[in-house]
Every structure is written in C-alpha cells, then in structure tokens.
Structure 1
Amino acid sequence: MSRLSDLLRTLEQLDPKLAKDLGDEIRPLQKRLPFGLNFERHAPEAVELAGHRIRKTNKVRVLPPRGSAERGDQRLWHVDSISGGLAEVSTPNGEDRETLSVPVEDLVLVAEFRDRIYPGLRPDGSVERGGDKLFHTVINGENFHVLELLTFTHEHSVDAIYIDPPYNTGSRDWKYNNDYVEGDDLYRHSKWLAFMERRLKLAKRLLKPEDSVLIVTIDEKEYLRLGLLLEQTFPEAQIQMVSSLINPAAVARSGQFGRSDEYLFFVMLGEAKPQRLPLGGDWVTTKGRTHKGEIRWDLLRRSAENAARSDRPGMFYPIYVEAGTTKIASIGDPLPRDVERSGVVPPEGQEVIWPIRRDASEGRWRLGPAAAREAWKSGYLRVGSNKGENSPVYYLARGEQKKITDGTYEVLGRTEDGAVITSQLDASERNVVPPTQWRNSSHDSTQYGSRLLAQLLTGRKFPFPKSLYAVEDTLRFFVSDKPDAVVLDFFSGSGTTAHAVMRLNKKDGGTRQCISVTNNEVSADEQTKLRKQGLRAGDPEWEQWGICDYITKPRIRAALTGLTPSGEPIKGDYKFVDEFPMSDGFDENAAFFTLSYESPWMVEADKAFAAIAPMLWLRAGAVGERIDSIEGGWAVADSYGILKDLDLASDFVAELQRREGIRIAYVVTDDDGRYQQVASAIPGIETVRLYEDYLRNCESTGDI
C-alpha cells in the first residue's frame, strides 16, 4: 500500500481528478485487514561483522573515533580501493555521490540479509573426552547466516530445534539492523516478526519433514503473534502450546499480576508426537482421573454431554447385585421410555443399581447391556460400594484393557466380586504424556538456571538462563526414542541446550549431537564502558566479554570437563532424573568455530579450502578426524573423503571401498562427466561436487 500512496502523489501532479478517484477507491481497501498476520516484511536487516577482513567491493560503515560513545555514521559505503592501510570509499547516491579516504581499521564490514553470502568456518579449539563419539559443535556468528550455512550441511536432517529467541520486552534485549529495539519503537513488533520469519524459513529447510519438532519458548509479549507466524510458516504441522511455571516466586509488575510462567510452542512435523515417558509426581495429578499410567477404572455412568436417559434410552438398564454386597448378580435389559424405574422389582435377595446422576436425575451408562455383560464376564466391571440404586459402578475402557492384553500389566487374580486384580508398575515404568500445564520444581529458572550457571562459571552472569532440567525434559519427549538425534539451537545463549543433550546421552548411552549457534554480542551496558576505554568490537579486549567467548564456550567446556574456567572442580551434584557430581563432567566431544565470510571467486578457485573444510566435516556427521588440508591429491577420514586430483580417482575409490563408516565423498572438479564417473564407482556413498554444490546452495539461500 505504501507504494500505491507514492504513485498517487505522483499522479496528482499529472491528473488530480484521476488521482482523487483512485484514492477514493483505494482508501476502503486500506482499512480492510486480510485474514492472517500482517507486518512489514520489507524492513531491512543488516549486521556489522567486526573483526572480518575488509576487501575491495565490500559494504562497510565508518566507525566513530575510538573513545567515542556516539552511534556513528549509519550509512553504507562501498570500498572502491585499498592501498597502504587506507581505503577509498563512496556512497552510491548518483549526483550526490560522496567519497572518503578512511583508515581500513576505522571500517567495519556490513552484510545485508538480501546479499548472498559464502560462509566458511574458522576452528576455535575443541574439548575431546568422548573418544570416537560424535562432536557437539558451537558456532559463533550471526544466526541467520549460520542457518544459511547449515542448509548446505544439514538440510532435512535435523530431528529437533529448540530455541529461546529474544522476547521483545522493549528493554534493549535484541538488535534489529544493528540497533537495539526500544520499547517505544512503533515498528517493534513488525521488526520482531520479520526477524523471526527469516530465521524460521531457514529452520524449516533443516528439519526432517517426515518426523521432527521445532520448540520455541516465549512470554506474553509476543506469543499471540508468534502463534500466527508459526501457523503461516508451518501450515502442514500440528502445533500445540504449553504453559510452564519457571519462577514460583513470580516477578512483581506494577499494576499487573506477577509473572511466573512462559509458553512453549511445539511445532510437530510429519509423524512427530510427544513420547510417553516415566514421569515423577510433579508431572501427574492424583485428583479425579489419574495420569500416572496405572490401570484406571472409569465410572460406568456417563457424566459429560448427552448423559441423560433421554439422550440414549438404550443405555438405561438395571445392574443387579447380591443384597448388602458389591457382587454383581446379573445385568438387565434397557427400560422402555414409558416405563418408570420404580416399577422394576429386583429378584429376591438382590438390589438394583441405576445410572442416577448427582442431581438425582436419570442418566445413562457408557456401555450397552451386551458390552457390559462381556466386561463383567472378563472381570472388567465392578461395583465400588453399595449405596443403593446410585451405587458407583466402574469399568475398564478398551485402552485400559489393552494394557493387560499387551502384557504391560499382569492379571494376578480376581476379587471376591470377580473383578481382575492387576500387577503394579514401579514409578520408573509408568509412561505418560503430561497435560499442557507444567508445574515442575525442577524447571525453576532461578534455582536451576542462574544459580546452576554460577556453579559452572564462578563470578560470571548471564540474563535469564533456562533451567537445565526444563530444556532436558522438553527435548526428552521427542528424542528419547532417537539416540542419534541431531538437535539445533540457533539462539543458544548460555549453551543450556547442548548441556541438556549431554545429560540425555549420559542417561541412556545415546550419541545425540547438538549444534549451538550464538553471536559474541557484548551487553549494552558493557559496550558503553568499553567504548569509553577506546575499545571497539573486534578488539580482543572487547571480544573477551562477548556471549560466546565469555559464557557459551566456557559453560560447555566446564560441563564437559567438570572444571570451572579457573580449573577448580565444579561444586554440587546434578539432580532429578540422573544424579551425579557435576565435577564428573561428560564423556563427550565438542568443537568450536567462528563463522567467516568467503569470496566466491576464492572458493571457486580452490583457494578457500581451509574455511570450507569444517563444513565438509559437519556434513559428514562431525565425527572423528577432520580433513583440514590435502596432500597427495586426496584424503580419507573416519566418515568422509575428498578427491582433488581426479587422475588419482582409482586409488581414492579403492580406499573408500576398504573403509567402513564412510558417508560422503567430496569430488573437486569442474568436469561433470568425470564427476559422474567417480560417483558411479562408489554406490551407496553420497557424493558431493565441489565447489559447484556449495556455490549453488549459497545462491539459493540468498533469496530468502
């Protein structure tokens, strides 16, 4: 509509009458709100990439002088040339084109999200305690660009995504287009939706369409908009929302109710559904219908809608019991509509029970007389207590009967009344799916988020970390039956999701992998202090305080090794599902990387292999040795191989055939015919043509 308004203003100068007539027709359309979620998708998004090399043709911003706390020039400049530490830059403004000569160190690289990027990874170390197990990975970078990278390495191969995105509270908790979004920004919600939609579209490309889940946590600020956005982005999914108590003490809010919970959206694709799990007392209720997973005797009298005798006359019949007992003697036939129950005389020595409701009106049974007789014969029908004509009668529904026939419960005998006596399950054997309100003490974000993090990283703080056990529990519903699941968190913050996946693996011996993505953003308050000290983003003294370097990587190192960053054993024990000392650590591996931005020409000329190499390892499963350089024309590692010299193809193929566990073969060539020859020689192994497949993938993601 904004474009139409601009055209109308232009038309007014040429034909005012026509412009007025068109305006009269358009205005009613502007007032109509189409069904669905509407927001400004055209709003630009860009990110400053501090510390990245400045090259000719780059887009850059000119930084303010060191020591200045000013926002600086937000215009985008084009690098025309670089010589002797100076860059000639210009603004593409036609006749008003400006030029500057600026020290290269005063420029910062800028990437707009509509630009195509060619990502790479720079290794930043590892922790290896898991032998030949797979590696968890942590990637420091703008998450939108990392998601673009992952479409090359993990398209349609992720089992679960868990994200805790910025809640858009208006308290400078996230940036859009390099600026903090303030509470008084009129486009705050629109920016947040555009920010989320771009990332969710990429996330959708990573999830397995046949069976996977996206889990998003949110509070009341954006849950309504997020729900609509998820429905529009994943129309084929089953979506459900859960309310979870995360702060029993509640956060006091002036003039409002105290906030104590948050919401979780579960976007279930394909066959994905929450698994039945052994759950403790916090998850279940003992009032009314139990959710403990035990054999459940339901009331035979219907108590919901259509529960009156007049609704189903065929379900109104007498049940006779021996006088003074609860032993069923027989089951009668339905009473005709015009016959009063008071006229029914039970056989001598027996009493009659009717489905009488609490308000003394006539109800009906859930089973017809034939089905009730069959249930009685099988021991699946019993009288609870003798209270006259409205005595409670119970039965086992088909689902409960199946627990007996499939062997979950054993029939140990029968009561004097003839009802079955079944075995009981230990608490660890009771598998249930919980309701949509979670009130678990282990999900307290203060106790098991902030304070637990303080145990791992003594003296370091991170705002609002999730409870470790809340994330662990949430994931368990969808990956408990997937011991080799791939889990992604592209708002990983303090690294709770990776920590939770390690716990899941230790509990059942799984080999699940977690990919954690975060940036190295420094908090708003810390930025002001650092700028006054003459520091800038990209300086080592600045970067050491960033989220990834100061919190995420140290937390994962600490969790793995059982040692704090200062080398002291972590105090305290893990609790709940699996209790053991935190100082034990985990027998797992983790590798750390930083996102880099490569030149497509350098990639195509095979001069950026070092940056592409970690991506090839990731795509092959992030297991075992990584091929960082190639000598001799080809190389083969634990799960993949790379062929650069096609004249040595026969040796390469022979080595692949000799090895076990090879997943992928990468072939570096511009010759499609020779590539096909190699591919046909190794059936059963995925082949990827470099760098054609990589470049083509980068070009396809640039359109999102």
Structure 2
Amino acid sequence: MSRLTELLRQVRKADAQLGTDLEAEVAALTKRRTFGLVFEQHQPEAVELPGRVVRRGDKVRVLPPRGGTKAGDQRLWWTTRIECVDGQRVAHLAELDVEEPETRAVLADDVVVVAEFRDRIYPGLVETGRVERGGDKPFHTVVNAENYHALEMLTYTHRHSIDAIYIDPPYNTGARDWKYDNDYVASDDDYRHSKWLAFMERRLKICRELMRSDATLVATIDEHEVNRLGVLLDQLFPESTRQLVTIVNNPKGVTQGYLSRVEEYAFFVFGPDARIGSVDDDLLTHRDMADAEGELQRPRWKGLLRSGDDSLRADRKDMFYPVWFDESTGRLSHAGEALPLDETPDFSPQDGLTPIWPIRGSSQFGV
C-alpha cells in the first residue's frame, strides 16, 4: 500500500479533487467485505432539480425536445456563463469529465440543474397547500421529493426520533419500473441487482439514523429481491431483530410458467428495544364480519378445491368427500368418507352438521 499511497499523493498534487476521489475509492475497496452480501458500489445517482434556476457554475443536463418520447442526453455539462440574447437567457455549456470537452449554447429553459450525491445540497421544504380538519389533533405531512434527499433532510430535525418507517421500494422486476441515475433499469442490465442494492443501501442507512432504539422498519418486496434485501437488512441492522411476513395479495395466483405466485413479503426490522403488543386476531383465522359495504365476508371455498389437472371427481375417485360444518359454532367439524363414483351426494344435515361437497361454480363435481 505504501507505493499506492505515494502515487495517490502525486495525483493529489496535480489534481486535488481527482486525488481525493481516488483515495475515497481505495479506502472503500480496502474495507469491502469478502463474505456476506458483496455488490458493486455504483457511482451514486444524480438527481434533477427542475425548480432550480440555472446559474453559472451549475451542473446541468440538456432536456430532450418537448413533445417527444426519446430519452434525453444523459451527459453532464458545466455552465460556464449565462447571457441574455434577444430577451432570453442563454446558457453556455462545456461537457464534464472528458479530455476534450464539447461546448454548446442552449436556452436556459432547455436545461435542468443536476446534483450528484457528492455535491453539497441543503434541502428545504416549500408548503404548497394544506387541509385542516382535526383542529389541534396531530396531523400528517406529505413530502413530495426525491426520497434520498427527503430522508436526508429529516435527519436535521428527526434524528433518532422516528417510531416507525414503512417503505415500498421498486421491486426490480426487470420491467423498466425504476430508474438508476435517471435511466430505467431493464432486465438485460448485468448490474441490475447491484444497482438496486446500492440504491437501497444509501436510503436504509439514513433510515437507521432516523429510527429510535424501539422503532420498527417495514419494507415490502416480492420474490425478485426478497433474499438480497434480507441479507442487506441483516448487515445494516445487526443489533435488530428481522422477521419476514407473507402477504397473500392475489389468491388466484399469478402464472409464471411454473408455480403460480399468490404472495408478496414484508420485512419487519425491530429495534433492540422494540416490543410488540398482543392482539386477539391472529390474522389467519376467518371471522364472519361485515365489509365496508355491509355484506358478510365469506371464506374462499375455491381455494379448497383442486385446480388444474386431475381436478374432477372422475379423475380422483377417492377424493370426493364432504366436509361437515357446524353452523352453531361456525367451525368445520371433520371430513367425511369418500363417496363411491356411482352414488349421488346427499346434502341433508346430520346430527346438527351440514355437509359441504366439492362442487364447482359450473356444477361439476370436483375434489
């Protein structure tokens, strides 16, 4: 390392900023894990600031022509000067981070100011409206912002004072459903997973700074990143307790060529001093109760019927049997004997119990 340190010192003499950046990267490499969740620490995203007036010295991107659908020029430019031409502000630009920078002049209205993560930003809030209905009761605040900088802003006022954080990050399905550095991430991107992990790590680190010792973090996710997110949470919150909850969000299932997916997941990360209160509802057992429209909620009997191949009585002769239901208690009592194929099912109650047969909505006998 002594030779490398000397070379870095020489670079720093020639270019102070380049030397500082190289030293930071070398320091990160020496601290990199050789086990656990190892991923590329990608160049941090750059965030566009569309409400910011362009000034000399700003980093900017040139916007695509209005009304079009083509992606804009992703190169970064340095604003060397602003001048007024025929009553319009014109920005003179020089391309950043290239040996022979291109220069151009464009209308200031056709560029957007960009801040990279290493740039110092002092975030603030501008109130755009409010709805007051609760008097002196506690109120909600909606912050519309780039989430990293919104979280960073809260560290000035709410560090180690948040009770609960719920996040619903992009699921990284490969369907170009999220952006990294202002560009959609597609399924053929070789660095799709590490970009997502770098994206999540930066935000989760700030969440950790906001949380109290008895706080809880909840993060929803699906099968595309559930395993990686679990390991990342373990590394960032080693003193906390992590649990995974399964959420059945589509009982009919989503066909994927193999097994149909019916669930998503929610990670619960409990701080070292967090405690959970007990409730009567186990969130699994069905209870007869009225929904928002006043109609009685009923069990999903379809979920108890076999679907797909060999799902009819004729296919599984020994699997056509009743389940006996006790209406007085609202519980299933027991399963009856299989009915021979040549016999007709009897729907008459017996001993106070009602038989429930596996009959489909089409009136076919199922199993």
Return the TM-score normalized by structure 2: 0.66
- 1:311-322 alignment, distance < 5 Å: none
Counterpart pick for 2:279 among 268, 277, 280: 277
Alpha-carbon distance in structure 2 between the residues aligned to 1:142 and 1:161: 17
2:75 match: 75
Question: Partner of 1:279: helix, strand, or coil?
Answer: coil
Tell me if the contact between 2:46 and 2:181 (Cα under 8 Å) persists in the aligned partners: yes
Cα distance, 1:111 vs structure 2: 1.5
Using the TM superposition, give the Cα deviation of residue 77 of structure 1 relative to its aligned residue in structure 2, in angstroms. Answer: 0.6
Find the counterpart in structure 2 of residue 390 from structure 1.
none
Q: Secondary structure at the match of 2:143?
A: strand
1:250/1:260 contact within 8 Å kept: yes
Q: Deviation of residue 122 (structure 1)?
A: 1.1
Residues 176, 95 of structure 1: alpha-carbon distance in 2 compared, 3 angstrom cutoff? closer
Q: Distance in 2 between matches of 1:153 and 1:279?
A: 37
Counterpart of 1:111? 115
- Structure 1 distance, partners of 2:134, 2:253, is 40
1:221 pairs with one of 216, 219, 224: 224
Distance (whole Å) between structure 1 residues aligned to residue 281 and residue 218 of structure 2: 20
Partner of 1:148: helix, strand, or coil?
Answer: helix
Q: SS of the residue aligned with 2:124? A: strand
1:87/1:273 Cα in 2 relative to 1: closer, same or farther (>3 Å)? same
Specify the SS of the correspondent of 1:228.
Answer: helix
Amino acid at match of 1:38: V
Q: Is the 8 A contact 1:58 1:79 kept in 2?
A: yes
- Correspondences of 1:651-662 after superposition (within 5 Å): none
Q: Deviations over 1:361-380 (max 9, x none)?
A: xxxxxxxxxxxxxxxxxxxx
| Deviation at residue 125 of structure 1 after TM alignment | 0.3
Q: Do the aligned partners of 2:176 and 2:185 also contact (CA within 8 Å) in 1?
A: yes
Q: CA RMSD in A?
A: 2.5
What residue in structure 2 maps to residue 148 of structure 1?
A: 152
Question: Helix, strand or coil: the match of 1:213?
Answer: strand
Between the aligned partners of 2:97 and 2:262, the Cα distance in structure 1 is 52
1:65–1:153 CA distance, 2 compared to 1 (3 A): same
Structure possessing the higher relative contact order (Cα contacts under 8 Å, 6 or more residues apart):
1
Paired position in structure 1 for 2:62: 62
Unaligned stretches of 5+ residues in structure 2? 8-32, 290-296, 301-367
> Of residues 232, 248, 253 in structure 1, which corresponds to 2:251?
248
1:230-269 equivalence runs, <5 A: 230-253=233-256, 255-269=257-271
Q: Is the 8 A contact 2:42 2:195 kept in 1?
A: no
Alignment of 1:26-37 (within 5 A): 34-37=34-37
1:544 is matched with none
How many Å separate the matches in 2 of 1:91 and 1:74? 11
**Partner of 2:201: helix, strand, or coil?**
helix
1:284, CA displacement in angstroms? 4.2
> How big is each residue's C-alpha offset from its partner over 1:644-697, in whole Å with a ceiling of 9 and x where there is no partner?
xxxxxxxxxxxxxxxxxxxxxxxxxxxxxxxxxxxxxxxxxxxxxxxxxxxxxx
Q: CA deviation at 1:93?
A: 4.4
Distance in 2 (CA, whole Å) between partners of 1:71 and 1:244 is 37
Q: Which amino acid aligns with 2:187?
A: G
* 1:301-312 matched pairs, under 5 angstroms: none
Taking the TM superposition and a 5 Å limit, the aligned residue runs for 1:496-645 are: none
CA contact (8 A) 1:43 1:191 kept: no
C-alpha displacement at 1:95, in angstroms? 4.8
1:114 shift after superposition: 2.0
Other structure's SS at 1:226 match? helix
Q: Report the Cα offset of residue 53 of structure 1.
A: 1.9
Cα 1:226–1:98, aligned 2, differ >3 Å: closer, same or farther?
same
Q: Which whole-Å CA distance do the structure 2 matches of 1:93 and 1:198 have between them?
A: 24
- Cα offset for 1:66? 2.2
CA contact (8 A) 2:60 2:114 kept: yes
Q: Give, in whole Å, the separation in 1 of the partners of 2:73 and 2:98.
A: 19
Structure 1 gap ranges (5+)? 8-32, 287-426, 428-440, 445-704
SS at match of 2:40: coil
Q: Letter of the aligned partner of 2:252 in structure 1?
A: A
Q: Which residue of 2 aligns with 1:207?
A: 211
Q: Which residue identity is paired with 1:243?
A: T
Q: Which letter maps to 1:215? A: V
Once the two structures are superposed, what CA deviation does each residue of 1:64-96 show, in whole Å capped at 9, x if it has no partner? Answer: 222332212211011122222111111244651
Asked whether the 8 Å contact 1:90–1:98 carries over to 2, the reply is yes
- 1:36 Cα deviation after fit: 0.5
Give the structure with the higher percent helix: 1
CA 1:256–1:77: 2 relative to 1, 3 Å: same
Residues 161 and 212 in structure 2, CA contact (< 8 A), matched pair in contact too:
yes
Report the TM-score when normalising by structure 1.
Answer: 0.35
Aligned residue identity for 1:155? R
Question: Measured at CA, do residues 91 and 160 of structure 1 come closer, stay the same or move farther in structure 2, by a change above 3 Å?
Answer: same
Q: 2:188, 2:66 → 1: CA distance?
A: 29
Q: Verify the 8 A CA contact 1:60 1:110 in the aligned structure 2.
A: yes
Identity of aligned residues (%): 56
Task: State the 1:250 CA deviation.
Answer: 1.3
Q: For the pair shown, which has the larger CA radius of gyration, 1 or 2?
A: 1
Q: Number of residue pairs matched?
A: 257
